[in-house]
Structure 1
Amino acid sequence: MKTIGALIWEPGTRSGWSVEDIEIDPPKSREVRIKLAASGICHSDDHVDTGDIPLPWAPIIGGHEGAGIIEELGPDVTGFEVGDHVVLSFLPSCGHCKMCTIGRANMCEMGAGVLAGFAPDGTHRVHARGQGVGPFSYLGTFSPYVVVNIDSCVKIDKDIPLDKAALIGCGVPTGWGSAMYAADIALGDTVVIVGTGGVGMNAVQGARHRGAKNIVTIDPVPYKREMAKIFGATHSVENYEQAADLVSEMSNGQGADVVIITVDVAYGHLLNPAQEMTRRGGTLVLTSAAPVTQRDVPFDLFTFAMSGKRLQGSLYGTVTPRRDIPLICDLYRRGEFKLDELITKTYELEQINEAVQDMRDGKNIRGVITYDL
């Protein structure tokens, strides 16, 4: 079929996204074609344009946060029907590899190839200017249609608004799970969350669901500091220094039980102030993606080791997509999870470069591209 998509032809050059005609092949074995309702704008897509995630191939069709309705089934598809509403998980889960069977579906072996530039079978479904186009994270939601493997699909109930559900494919569970699972926050804990964009704001919600007593957020943008309180922050400050003084006061000098880093880009200098704010025996969670070339990290190793702290990396919030995506939908339905408030502004696909610039400028918690269903 013919449609349009937003492509990067020169990764790492900040050349921006080109919205142009594309062709999408019919679904093959264990694949479905989906008409999308919306796609979130995530910093991970921008990393391809800036070069923080270097890709040796092009072109790429971006987008990895989406939700929509299944329109066509390929051969060998089970568990899904035409008309089903689905969220696209930015990391697939096959259900039978070692990581999936031990409860670490976020580390599914199938997901190791999401930046390879092909569909899981090593071929292309999308074509532009006479050549194959690689989908970001096997998805490519910067197009109103996608053909994807069913291992990237999670069925949801039809009463959940699809434009909101799109965010549950990446940013929502990544932040929420960082607090719920990776940090393992305990009732009454003091938690610091560094960065309150589309991921960090959901870490705030996760900390609230875990029963944290104090939730301190750090963000230089006044708008985000105010919004953090709506999502459950008890205190919101501008920088590390203000947070350190506040946490010291509320913890009798002991420090935060948990610090979660969810900034847009993780640079090495951000880690040591966070670990200095973490109490003895506490946990520091790093969720943010760093530039691949980032190697220098000033870090007080002596204090870190002697105080028994834990540094925990968190991919996709350590969630299990097939369990946690429907769970978040149910929490939203019951009024216990905020999705509507995450969307600051909506855009047409042709406005994608404006949407990305708004994200870089800190204007949005989440910008969303909407499509006509």
Structure 2
Amino acid sequence: MKTKGALLRENNKPWAIEEIEIGDPKAHEIKIKMEAAGMCHSDHHLVTGGIPMAGFPILGGHEGAGVVAEVGEGVTDFEVGDHVVLSFIPSCGKCPSCQSGMANLCDFGAMLLQGEAVSDNTFRIQTAAGENVYPMTLLGTFAPYMVVHEASAVKIDKDIPFEVAALCGCGVPTGYGSSTRSGDVRPGEDVAIVGVGGVGTAALQGAVISGARNVFAIDPVEWKREQALKFGATAAFASVEEAAMAIAETTHGGMCQKVIVTVGEVHGKDVDLWMGITGKGGTCVLTGMGNMLESDVTLNLAMLTLLQKNLQGSIFGGANPKLDIPQLLSMYKIGKLNIADMITRQYRLDQINEGYQDMLEGRNIRGVIRYTEEDW
């Protein structure tokens, strides 16, 4: 079918809305009529080249929610009309990672940047000129329709707003799980959240819900610091350097048992700063993405050893998509998790560059693209 999508043809250029052709679902695939797509910082890494795909043009978007429009052969868990969230990491349930409880490290994840469908290693999307298109994490939510493997979709209740549901495809479970799973925040612990955009705000809520005593929010944008206090932070600071003295005073020198780093772009030179506010035996969870082509890190190895600290990587917050996405949305429904207020602005697809500029300039916690009859 013919539709449109936000494509990137080279690095450091704006997204362009172009006509695309999307194929029919094959075995174990479903076609989805998209309702909403989250605008995550990771898609901006495609623009800068920080996340290199296997080729161009790239169809962006890896957070989204919509309605099943068609199912392929062998699909038994979904039917036409189901509401679904797209999980940016698929979960097959069969590979060693999935079976050992690490569904966020599903073996399908190795194929996320290749562009070819996991079902048969062919391309589902072409441009009007016939070029193969590389969808972000095999999704491409910056288009009104998509065809994906059933392992990338999670069925949800039909009374959940699509714009809320979309954020649970990446940002909310990534942040929340960084605190509750990867960080294992315990009641009474002191926690610092470095970077309070969409992922950081979810991490902040995860720390609060887990019973953290003090939650220190760190972000250079004043408006985001104000929002962090509304979401439950006990104090907010513009920089790690500014926060360090206050954290030391509040904790009587003990610093934070857990530090969750959710900045939009990680730089190796900053790692030692984050470890500096991590207490003895504490854990610094690195959730933000750095450039995949860079490997330099500044880290005092002696202090890492002598104070027995931990530096923990985290992808998707350690989540099990099929379990955690419905669970987080059930917490939203009963008022335990505030996802709705994380959505600052909504955009049309043709406003995508405006939306990312708002993100880069610190005006959004999370922007969302909403699709309408004009798009379908």
TM range (shorter): over 0.9
Which amino acid is the alignment partner of residue 302 of structure 1? A
- Deviation beyond 3 Å, 4+ runs, structure 1: none
| 1:229 corresponds to | 229
Q: How does 1:167-206 map to 2 (within 5 A)?
A: 167-206=167-206
1:7-65 per-residue CA deviation (whole Å, 9 max, x = no partner) reads: 1111x2x1111101111111100111111110011111111111111234111101000
| 2:72 corresponds to | 74
- CA–CA separation in structure 1 for the residues paired with 2:277 and 2:329: 34
Pick from 37, 40, 43 the counterpart of residue 42 of structure 1: 40
> How many angstroms does 1:293 deviate by?
2.4
| 1:305 corresponds to | 305
Q: How does 1:229-308 map to 2 (within 5 A)?
A: 229-308=229-308
Structure 2 regions of 5+ residues with no counterpart? none
Q: Confirm or deny: 8 A CA contact 2:342 2:366 kept in the other structure.
A: yes
- CA–CA separation in structure 1 for the residues paired with 2:34 and 2:163: 9
User: 3-state SS of the aligned residue for 2:207?
Assistant: helix
User: 3-state SS of the aligned residue for 1:131?
Assistant: coil
> How many angstroms does 1:294 deviate by?
2.1
| 1:122 corresponds to | 121
| 1:315 corresponds to | 315
- CA–CA separation in structure 2 for the residues paired with 1:52 and 1:30: 31
User: 3-state SS of the aligned residue for 2:208?
Assistant: helix
| 2:30 corresponds to | 32
Identity rate, percent:
49
RMSD value over aligned CA atoms? 0.9
Q: Aligned pair 1:111/2:109, yes or no?
A: yes
| 1:58 corresponds to | 56
Q: Confirm or deny: 8 A CA contact 1:177 1:317 kept in the other structure.
A: yes
Q: Confirm or deny: 8 A CA contact 2:30 2:68 kept in the other structure.
A: yes
- CA–CA separation in structure 2 for the residues paired with 1:267 and 1:294: 9
1:296-346 per-residue CA deviation (whole Å, 9 max, x = no partner) reads: 211111011111111100011001111100001100000011111111111
User: 3-state SS of the aligned residue for 2:133?
Assistant: strand
Deviates more, 1:324-333 or 1:239-248: 239-248
User: 3-state SS of the aligned residue for 1:199?
Assistant: helix
Q: Normalising by structure 1, report the TM-score.
A: 0.98
Which amino acid is the alignment partner of residue 161 of structure 1? P
| 1:151 corresponds to | 151
- CA–CA separation in structure 1 for the residues paired with 2:136 and 2:274: 31
- CA–CA separation in structure 2 for the residues paired with 1:308 and 1:74: 51
Which amino acid is the alignment partner of residue 115 of structure 1? L
- CA–CA separation in structure 2 for the residues paired with 1:112 and 1:342: 30
Which amino acid is the alignment partner of residue 125 of structure 2? V
Structure 1 regions of 5+ residues with no counterpart? none
1:124-152 per-residue CA deviation (whole Å, 9 max, x = no partner) reads: 11110211111111100000111111100
Q: Confirm or deny: 8 A CA contact 2:97 2:107 kept in the other structure.
A: yes
| 2:216 corresponds to | 216
